[in-house]
Amino acid sequence: MADSGVTDGAEKKEDITRVKNEGKELSKEEKQRLRKEKKSQKKNKEKKDEQDALASEREKNCAPSTLSQPAAHKEPAASPPVQAAVSEPPAPAAGAPPADKPAKSKAELKAERRARQEAERASKPGKKGDPGPQSTAGKPKAPPSELQPVVKRLPEHVQVDNPEVLKKLAKKLERQQTPGRGAALKIPLRSDYGYKVSLFSHLHQYSRKAPLTQQLSIPSTVIHPVIVRLGLQYSQGIVAGSNARSVALLHAFKQVIRDYVTPPNEELSRDMVNKLKPYISFLNQCRPLSASMGNAIKYIKKEISNIPSQCKEEEAKTKLQDCIDRYIREKIVLAASAISKYAIEKISDGDVILVYGCSSLVNHILCEASEKHRKFRVIVVDSRPRLEGREALRRLVKHGISCTYVLISALSYVLPEVSKVFLGAHALLANGYVMSRVGTSQIALVAKAFNVPVLVCCETYKFCERVQTDSFVSNELDDPDDLMVTRKGKTQLEGWQQVSQLGLLNLVYDVTPPDFVDLVITDLGMIPCTSVPVVLRVKNVDQ
């Protein structure tokens, strides 16, 4: 078919070039056909190269006299067996096919090849490829079954110790550059910093003093400046906290959509998604994406690909911006109000509430509760090296709430007088574990030992389908230099890099087992930790 395709395609190409010159927009079928031709031509070119290589090999290996005749007019027919031979190791193939070939006919070989290609495609589940020359029009949709086998590809950021994965990432970043422009405009690969504790050698560890943006040339035509600024804000910790990061991301994407212009002969729904891919890789390099950001990106991509092709560009862009606004309003702002409403029912007068770090949602709840004239006081627990509790303290004191401030090591000292613990979450995993700032699990553990109820507040857009049982397999390592501290003019850990046996570990997240958590307050209501997969299923059915 590939052979016939070469002759057919030539005619079709003439049609298409004519249409292009006339400047009309191609219809969808023509565009699809054009893409198919491009793909098949590429494949032919590759095949021809391999064929040449193998043919020269074969001629070297076998006796030239016996095979010269059959080899010469086997060239066109040899292309199918060569392709079949490519999938097997070339060495035995070089010997076997020349003997087999005279026996099989052309049609049988074609069928063989097709079968092999289907088998290969079926064995690569994670790859989403455009329909190749073999498939019929339209992708066959996988029937939605009750127990869909999920074969996920392991994310790159937890395979840092695998050099092949790193090479693949580097190649992917190269491919995402504007073609033919040169190395200065591609997305750089960020390098790790410092000695990594061996338990975490599979994770990245970056230094805050070397942000990714230093390696970019300005102006960068690959990455929109709004995204560059966002990446810098993420990596320096200026925008921190999962809600803040998601909202900033969505606003940045809105700006990107506003500035987007559909290139000729491209569909908005496909091209925009492709344009977003390098931005997402860049942001991932600046700081690994959070679960909430991942869900937001999935939503945007779905909305973009659902844009009907006859929609005009301006209309489509306005529609997308409205979608984003609605997402922010529904999933973040309104959810926060709903959660406050439920949570305020749980706060009674005379309560002593313990909070940890700075969770925007928990702060919102407490401020609303104090506006509704509940009488309570708050104990803010903070921990090094981030010391985010300072921000929470500032916000609460501004609202006139009486506060106490302690470090996390004083937890056993304050807990006897605490009546409730309110915690925020970064993500809720499908097995009921709560992923949150490091130290949360400790608070839940000690609260359980003192019989103090622990309530976790989390919006549903942070629920994710991952499962995790400990804080090692998937985490984020922050800059280890943050642990250094100067007391009485002396920095004890200065020069820790030179000491070969010394390592500093600055974890960002940890997972809390569900038996420490008494209640999860979400915008759908108050649920136990184990009901998270139910909520996920309901969400998937809705969408």
Partner 1 sequence: MPGADKNTDLSERIEAFLADLKRGGTGAGPLRGSAETARETTALLRRITAQARWSSAGDLMEIIRKEGRRMTAAQPSETTVGNMVRRVLKIIREEYARSRGSSEETDQQESLHKLLTSGGLSEENFRQHFPTLKANVIEAINELLTELEGTTYNIAMQALEHIHSNEVIMTIGRSRTVEDFLKDAARKRKFHVIVAECAPFCQGHKMATSLSQAEIETTVIPDAAIFAVMSRVNKVIIGTQTVLANGGLRAVNGTHTLALAAKHHSTPLIVCAPMFKLSPQVPYFPFSPSHSYEQRSVTHSLWWVRREILSKVNVYCPVFDYVPPELITLFISNIGGNAPSYIYRLMSELYHPEDHEL
Smallest separation (angstroms) from partner 1 to the CB of 373: 19
H-helix or E-strand containing 319?
Answer: helix 313-327
User: 214 or 451, CB closer to partner 1?
Assistant: 451
User: 387 or 538, CB closer to partner 1?
Assistant: 387
Contact criterion met (CB below 8 Å) for 34 and 66: no
User: 188 or 385, CB closer to partner 1?
Assistant: 385
Which of the stretches 162-170, 250-258, 325-333, 488-496 binds partner 1 when contact is defined by CB under 8 A? 488-496
Is 438 a residue that touches partner 1 (CB under 8 A)?
Answer: yes
Is 441 a residue that touches partner 1 (CB under 8 A)?
Answer: yes
Residue 402 pairs in a beta bridge with 377
User: 198 or 543, CB closer to partner 1?
Assistant: 198
Which of the stretches 13-21, 152-160, 335-343, 480-488 binds partner 1 when contact is defined by CB under 8 A? 480-488
Contact criterion met (CB below 8 Å) for 378 and 366: yes
Residue 407 pairs in a beta bridge with 382
Enumerate residues 6+ apart whose C-beta is below 8 A from 346.
420, 455, 519, 521
User: 373 or 487, CB closer to partner 1?
Assistant: 487
Smallest separation (angstroms) from partner 1 to the CB of 354: 13
Contact criterion met (CB below 8 Å) for 354 and 443: yes
Interacting positions 206-265 with partner 1 (CB under 8 A): none
The CA distance from 500 to 492, in Å, is 16
Q: Where are the alpha helices (DSSP H) in 62-179?
A: 64-87, 90-100, 106-122, 163-175
Smallest separation (angstroms) from partner 1 to the CB of 403: 5
Interacting positions 353-392 with partner 1 (CB under 8 A): 383-385, 387, 390
Which of the stretches 14-22, 52-60, 129-137, 464-472 binds partner 1 when contact is defined by CB under 8 A? 464-472
From 211, 439, 452, 532, residue interacting with partner 1 (rule: CB under 8 A): 439
From 10, 238, 473, 502, residue interacting with partner 1 (rule: CB under 8 A): 502
Smallest separation (angstroms) from partner 1 to the CB of 197: 5
From 62, 506, 519, 526, residue interacting with partner 1 (rule: CB under 8 A): 506
Contact criterion met (CB below 8 Å) for 132 and 38: no
CA-closest candidate to residue 464, choices 508, 432, 506 = 432
User: 37 or 391, CB closer to partner 1?
Assistant: 391
Which of the stretches 16-24, 70-78, 279-287, 479-487 binds partner 1 when contact is defined by CB under 8 A? 479-487
Torsion of CA 226, 229, 231, 234, to 10 degrees: -120
User: 226 or 438, CB closer to partner 1?
Assistant: 438
Residue 100 pairs in a beta bridge with none
Query: Tokens 């309560």 identify what position?
Result: 351
Contact criterion met (CB below 8 Å) for 189 and 285: yes
Contact criterion met (CB below 8 Å) for 55 and 78: yes
H-helix or E-strand containing 339?
Answer: helix 335-345
The CA distance from 383 to 390, in Å, is 10
* Preceding amide of 225 cis, omega within 30: no
User: 51 or 441, CB closer to partner 1?
Assistant: 441
Sketch the per residue contact string, 180 through 199, with partner 1: x for CB under 8 A, - otherwise. -----------------x-x
Smallest separation (angstroms) from partner 1 to the CB of 468: 12
Residue count, binding to partner 1 (CB under 8 A)? 52
Measured CA to CA in angstroms, residue 169 lies from 162, 211, 225, 301 at distances of: 11, 18, 23, 21
The CA distance from 101 to 108, in Å, is 11
Which of the stretches 161-169, 226-234, 339-347, 411-419 binds partner 1 when contact is defined by CB under 8 A? 411-419
Is 505 a residue that touches partner 1 (CB under 8 A)?
Answer: yes
Helix (H, G, I), strand (E, B) or coil at 21: helix
Enumerate residues 6+ apart whose C-beta is below 8 A from 326.
none
Contact criterion met (CB below 8 Å) for 297 and 279: no
User: 115 or 499, CB closer to partner 1?
Assistant: 499
User: 174 or 417, CB closer to partner 1?
Assistant: 417
Is 352 a residue that touches partner 1 (CB under 8 A)?
Answer: no
Is 202 a residue that touches partner 1 (CB under 8 A)?
Answer: no
User: 71 or 483, CB closer to partner 1?
Assistant: 483
Please count the other Cβ atoms lying within 10 Å of the Cβ belonging to residue 96.
Answer: 13
Which residues make up the interface to partner 1 (CB under 8 A)? Answer: 197, 199, 383-385, 387, 390, 393-394, 397, 402-414, 416, 437-439, 441-442, 445-446, 449, 470-472, 483, 485, 487, 492-493, 496, 499-507, 510-511
